[in-house]
């Protein structure tokens, strides 16, 4: 069944991906209607997350955020499908890169770095284009799909422009192997960790929240700089990328400091563009065990 489902997906993906964006956004409007009004995709989860994160917002404001988020999600679906058949020029035209010199300066200092991102804007397309704006090797940590056919397919699409995908289990070993060469390492650091892990607990969006400590531990051990990636949705299919240096001296930071820098940068971005984050994720499913 997995193989059959995969082939049906590929058939429709190839059919849709050759269509122009003007038509794809008509399709996106239809997907939004189905998700929001018919399926009511994760409605309870989204509304609960929004209400807990923004207790000062009115019911009407929360409802508007919910609708805007679902429209953006529908756009992300068609944009991700389209990305598999876009050229380098086409995909780069979708992004405005604000300050790439920050990355260049770190490399001039012979400093490898972690590019820490949240599920904001178009994080998948952003990861794909990073190899196009630097001459150095780019790795991205990802979680394998349970369906092996989808896993192979997704790795192929995401590596179209030179992105090297590694699993979280392989990551640290790979970084050790490449320690003598300059690398840029993309990491989505707002995933929900397991409740039993060695997590960093903090207040995030008005709620007690656990974060993985992998970013902090690896950056301190390897002495990699940490840069926060701000992805801002300007309009349909158009994004702004900004780089924000969190630290280029990770070994000098205290325990929990890098994690907190990341949390504050992500929270600031979400407050600026509140419909821009992955609200359908069950981010707060675990509670701290006292």
Quick: pLDDT tens for 89-138.
999 999 999 999 999 999 999 999 999 999 999 999 999 999 999 999 99
Tell me the residue range of the domain where 132 lies. Answer: 88-272
Same domain, residue pair 137 and 92: yes
**66 and 199 assigned to the same domain:** no
Q: Are 154 and 80 in contact (CB under 8 A)?
A: no
Is residue 121 in some structural domain? yes
Asked whether residue 284 is assigned to any structural domain, the reply reads no
Q: Are residues 18 and 55 in the same domain?
A: yes
Whether residues 105 and 68 share a domain: the answer is no
* Cβ atoms of 97 and 231 closer than 8 Å: no
Report the sign of the C-alpha dihedral through residues 81, 83, 87, 93, in that order. Answer: positive
**CA–CA gap between residue 242 and residue 228 (Å, rounded):** 8
- C-alpha 269/C-alpha 273 separation (Å) is 6
Q: Which of 72, 89, 74, 73 is nearest to 24 (CA)?
A: 74
Mean pLDDT, rounded, for 51-79: 96
pLDDT digits (tens, 9 = 90+) for 26-45: 999 999 999 999 999 999 99
Q: What is the pLDDT of residues 145-173, one digit of tens each?
A: 777 777 787 888 888 899 999 998 899 99
What DSSP designation does 289 have? -
Return the pLDDT at 1: 55
How many domains does the chain fold into?
2
- Measure CA of the first residue to CA of the last residue in the chain; give whole Å: 44
Indicate whether 66 and 92 sit together in one domain.
no
Q: Are residues 149 and 49 in the same domain?
A: no
Q: Which two tokens stand for residue 217?
A: 């531990």
Give yes or no: residues 178 and 265 share one domain: yes
Residue 159 falls inside a structural domain: yes
Q: Who contacts 279 (Cβ-Cβ below 8 Å, separation ≥6)?
A: 45, 46, 49, 50, 65, 66, 69
Tell me the C-alpha distance between 142 and 185, whole Å. 11
Angstrom distance (rounded) from CA 30 to CA 16: 14
The position carrying tokens 């820490």 is 116
Same-domain status, 116 and 255: yes
Q: Identify whether 245 is part of a domain.
A: yes
pLDDT in tens, 227-286: 999 999 999 999 999 999 999 999 999 999 999 999 999 999 999 999 999 999 999 987
What would the DSSP string read from start to end of 76-101? HHHHHHHHTT--HHHHHTTEEE--TH
Q: What is the pLDDT of residues 40-58, one digit of tens each?
A: 999 999 999 999 999 999 9
pTM: 0.93
Residues 121 and 230 reside in one and the same domain: yes
Q: How far is CA 139 from CA 115, 185, 212, 213, in A?
A: 10, 5, 19, 19
CA distance 60 to 245: 36
Residue 114 bridge partners (DSSP): 185, 226
């Amino acid at each position: 069944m997995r193989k059959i489902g995969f082939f049906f997906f590929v058939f429709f993906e190839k059919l849709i991906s050759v269509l122009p964006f003007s038509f794809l956004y008509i399709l996106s409007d239809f997907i939004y209607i189905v998700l929001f009004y018919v399926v009511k995709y994760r409605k309870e989860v989204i509304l609960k997350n929004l209400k807990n994160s923004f207790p000062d917002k009115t019911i009407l404001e929360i409802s508007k955020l919910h609708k805007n988020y679902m429209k953006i999600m529908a756009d992300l679906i068609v944009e991700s499908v389209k990305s598999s058949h876009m050229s380098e020029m086409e995909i780069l035209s979708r992004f405005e890169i604000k300050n790439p010199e920050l990355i260049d300066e770190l490399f001039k200092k012979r400093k490898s770095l972690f590019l820490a991102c949240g599920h904001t804007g178009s994080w998948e397309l952003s990861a794909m284009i990073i190899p196009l704006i630097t001459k150095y090797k780019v790795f991205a940590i990802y979680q394998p799909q349970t369906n092996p056919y989808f896993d192979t397919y997704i790795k192929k699409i995401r590596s179209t422009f030179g992105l090297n995908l590694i699993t979280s289990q392989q990551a640290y070993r790979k970084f050790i192997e490449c320690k003598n060469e300059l690398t840029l390492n993309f990491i989505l650091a707002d995933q929900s960790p397991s409740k039993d892990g060695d997590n960093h607990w903090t207040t995030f969006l008005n709620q007690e929240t656990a974060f993985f400590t992998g970013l902090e531990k690896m950056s301190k051990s390897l002495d990699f700089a940490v840069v926060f990636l701000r992805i801002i949705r300007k309009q349909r299919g158009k994004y702004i990328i900004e780089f924000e240096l969190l630290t280029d001296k990770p070994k000098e930071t205290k325990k929990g400091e890098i994690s907190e820098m990341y949390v504050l940068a992500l929270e600031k971005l979400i407050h600026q563009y509140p419909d821009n984050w992955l609200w359908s994720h069950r981010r707060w499913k675990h509670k701290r065990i006292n």
